[in-house]
Amino acid sequence: MLEHKIQNYKIILLCLIAVFVLGACATTIEPGPDDVRPNILLIVADDLAYADLGSYGSDIATLNIDALAAKGILFTQFHTAAAEDFYNQEPFKGYVQEHYDNAYGNMGRASSFVSYGPQWAEAGSAPFQRHKGYTREGGITAPMIISGPGVAPHAKKTSAYLTVMDLAPTFLELAGAEYPAGGMVQPMLGESINAFLAGPSNAVHDENYLTVLSHKGRALVRQGKWKLSTLEPPFDEAQFGLFDLEADPGETNNLTESEPEKYQEHNLL
């Protein structure tokens, strides 16, 4: 039953930082007439890791992003670093080595193609475990900053849980637009975060909200603070570990044996 659900909710895991900026014409996080609707800018930086931003505690000063963070909300559960070393791994190795020069003195120039591989990806994903391609938190959580007029409060870090699926319904609500109905397209799985951004709500999803993901034989099931996750393919429900993400965000303590009822409950979702 779970495998069937996973296939229905299959999502390619993304490594991104999303900086969501509401334009200066918006005075509140509310949809309105055409002349006062907010401008919405979504910036996606591929494979920028959680530990790469000054606003998230890095020693690296990312001044422009940090300036946005100082006026917005920083999400700690929306994260990841790329593990692929394209210069030395197939299927791109031959093409990349033929067309690019990764000699030390050439790194950073337009003629280089540098990626830092799984070891540095693990470091970039700190304090989480693993990296892009895995269903541990290091492979699925990206730093996200939401900034702009009407976003309250400023410079706040929040552990409120949300996913990339929540962005589209948020944008539609802010723009005063309606999603096609009547079965023309697949229904959206996310929920608007508008109430959270404006301040009256302290959570995006309730404790019953369920997320199911599968990627290359790895899978997860999350509900509230509880998460089932497999580490290596092929997919096998017997390989699920159970983690309490509030107490153990690094997923170091498998609670399968100490919390058998909770493990069974989530395995049947």
Q: How do the pLDDT tens digits run along the chain, 269 residues long?
A: 443 333 333 322 233 445 556 553 333 455 555 556 778 888 887 777 777 888 888 888 888 888 888 888 888 888 555 677 777 778 888 998 999 998 889 988 889 988 777 888 888 888 899 988 899 998 888 888 888 877 876 668 888 999 989 999 998 988 888 898 888 888 888 999 988 888 777 888 998 999 998 888 999 999 999 999 999 999 998 999 999 999 999 999 999 999 999 998 887 77
Lookup result for tokens 């409120």? 160
What pLDDT, on a 0 to 100 scale, did the predictor assign at position 22?
A: 59
User: Which three-class secondary structure string do you get for 14-76?
Assistant: CCEEEEEEECCCCCCCCCCCHHHCCCEEEEEEECCCHHHCHHHCCCCCCHHHHHHHCCEEEEC
DSSP 213: E
What pLDDT, on a 0 to 100 scale, did the predictor assign at position 28?
A: 42
SS3 225: coil
**Strand 72-75 and strand 144-147: pairing?**
antiparallel
Strand order in the sheet with 226-229: 210-215, 218-223, 226-229, 241-244
CA distance 53 to 186: 35
Mark 33-47 as b/e (b = at least 16 C-beta within 10 Å). eeeebbebeeeebeb
pTM greater than 0.85: no
| The two structure tokens encoding residue 250 | 């690094």
Cβ(181)–Cβ(56) below 8 Å: no
What pLDDT, on a 0 to 100 scale, did the predictor assign at position 155?
A: 62
CA distance 11 to 85: 23
What pLDDT, on a 0 to 100 scale, did the predictor assign at position 6?
A: 34
Q: Where in 64-169 does DSSP place strands (E)?
A: 72-75, 144-147, 156-158
Strand partners, 223: 210, 226
